[in-house]
């Protein structure tokens, strides 16, 4: 439970639509939520639901179609001057999904990590620059000897650590982690997540952690938003969401998580979400607070039922 709930990021009716010929693809279709300083907000959902597009729109890799993204009280998509954008880019960084594609193969690890340091003029000379690089490598569990190597010489887990070091180099307040462990072996995933948790505690970072693996999201997140077809259908604290899932789609996702228990797995019943029902009533559904801090996308009729059932 977050004690001091100071808003760092406020997202209001965020929309990101793409045109493909005459078709409009509503990748993100009216998201509203806040992220508080020092917390990890998990954003989960199936592939194609708009999670990654949300992260890229927040950091302004895409210009929003509509809505507001407020970071420390300032409108991200309202910024225009190069100086303001540069200042914003230092405060908000991103860790990308693919550790193989996100690192320039022609650059040494030192140059990859120091790119942000160079852009923002954070080192007085070459010696200070390299000292910062060495410190960052050691922070993420690598050695200073790795600085002069190239990305192809590293494993996937090591490359993701380099990506984390690159994000940390400019001393950001907020990091968007876009499925940072999905391309890694299961044995390495926990190491990377534990590293992120340790860095958050040491440096007071705030995370938006985007993933489709609900079990890992529960482990790292304070609150979780469940996304479906461009909208958030349920939002609650991590433990609350797992103990008391209300929306049928959330229940469906949780029913699909395997457990290391043969008896449970033999008898596990997968709950299938009725997509047609969602489409039929989507216009009348909006996020409503069923319990304190527990929001569900529902109609007025469903809201009354949920209140009676879960309050």
The per-residue pLDDT for range 223-246, each reduced to its tens digit, is 999 999 999 999 999 999 999 999
Query: What's the domain count of the chain?
Result: 2
Q: Is 145 within the bounds of a domain?
A: no
Q: Is 144 within the bounds of a domain?
A: no
Q: Is 11 within the bounds of a domain?
A: yes
Instruction: Find the domain containing 85 and state its range.
Output: 7-107+156-229
Furthest C-alpha separation in the chain: 66
Question: What pLDDT score was predicted for residue 292?
Answer: 92
Q: Is 234 within the bounds of a domain?
A: no
Clarify whether residues 297 and 185 are in a common domain: no
Clarify whether residues 188 and 271 are in a common domain: no
User: In this predicted model, what pLDDT tens digit does every residue of 259-268 receive, in sequence order?
Assistant: 777 877 777 7
Clarify whether residues 205 and 255 are in a common domain: no
- Write down which residue in 200, 229, 258 finishes a domain: 229
User: In this predicted model, what pLDDT tens digit does every residue of 125-184 receive, in sequence order?
Assistant: 999 999 999 999 999 999 999 999 999 999 999 999 999 999 999 999 999 999 998 878
Q: Is 117 within the bounds of a domain?
A: no
Two tokens, residue 128: 């200070």
Is the pTM higher than 0.85? yes
Burial (CB count <10 Å: 0-12, 13-18, 19+), residue 192: buried
Judged against a pLDDT cut of 90, whether residue 116 lies above it is answered with yes
H-state helical runs in the chain: 51-58, 82-91, 109-119, 126-139, 156-168, 186-203, 214-220, 238-243, 248-255, 262-267, 275-280, 300-310
Clarify whether residues 213 and 290 are in a common domain: no
| pLDDT level of residue 1 (50, 70, 90 thresholds) | very low
Clarify whether residues 189 and 310 are in a common domain: no
Question: What pLDDT score was predicted for residue 2?
Answer: 44
The 8-class DSSP code of residue 2 comes to: -
The 8-class DSSP code of residue 42 comes to: E
Percent of the chain with pLDDT over 70: 96
């Amino acid at each position: 439970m977050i004690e001091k709930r100071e808003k760092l990021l406020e997202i209001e009716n965020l929309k990101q639509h793409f045109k493909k010929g005459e078709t409009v693809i509503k990748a993100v279709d009216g998201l509203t939520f806040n992220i508080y300083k020092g917390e990890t907000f998990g954003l989960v959902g199936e592939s194609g639901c708009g999670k990654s597009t949300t992260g890229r729109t927040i950091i302004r890799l895409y210009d929003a179609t509509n809505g507001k993204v407020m970071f420390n009280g300032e409108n991200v998509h309202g910024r225009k001057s190069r100086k303001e954008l540069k200042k914003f880019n230092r405060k908000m960084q991103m860790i990308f999904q693919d550790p193989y594609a996100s690192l320039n193969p022609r650059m040494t690890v030192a140059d990859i990590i120091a790119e942000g340091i160079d852009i923002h003029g954070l080192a007085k000379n070459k010696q200070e620059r390299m000292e910062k690089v060495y410190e960052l490598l050691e922070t993420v569990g690598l050695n200073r000897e790795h600085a002069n190597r190239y990305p192809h010489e590293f494993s996937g887990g090591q490359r993701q650590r380099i990506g984390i070091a690159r994000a940390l180099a400019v001393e950001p307040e907020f990091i968007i982690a876009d499925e940072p462990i999905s391309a890694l072996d299961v044995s390495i995933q926990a190491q990377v997540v534990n590293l992120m948790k340790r860095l958050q505690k040491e440096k007071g970072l705030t995370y938006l952690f985007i993933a489709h693996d609900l079990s890992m999201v529960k482990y790292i997140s304070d609150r979780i938003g469940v996304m479906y077809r461009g909208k958030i259908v349920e939002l609650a604290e991590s433990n609350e969401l797992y103990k008391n899932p209300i929306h049928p789609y959330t229940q469906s996702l949780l029913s699909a998580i395997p457990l290391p228990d043969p008896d449970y797995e033999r008898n596990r019943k997968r709950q299938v979400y009725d997509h047609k029902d969602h489409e039929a009533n989507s216009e009348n559904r909006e996020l409503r607070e069923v319990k304190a801090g527990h929001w569900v996308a529902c109609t007025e009729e469903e809201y009354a039922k949920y209140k009676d059932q879960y309050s």
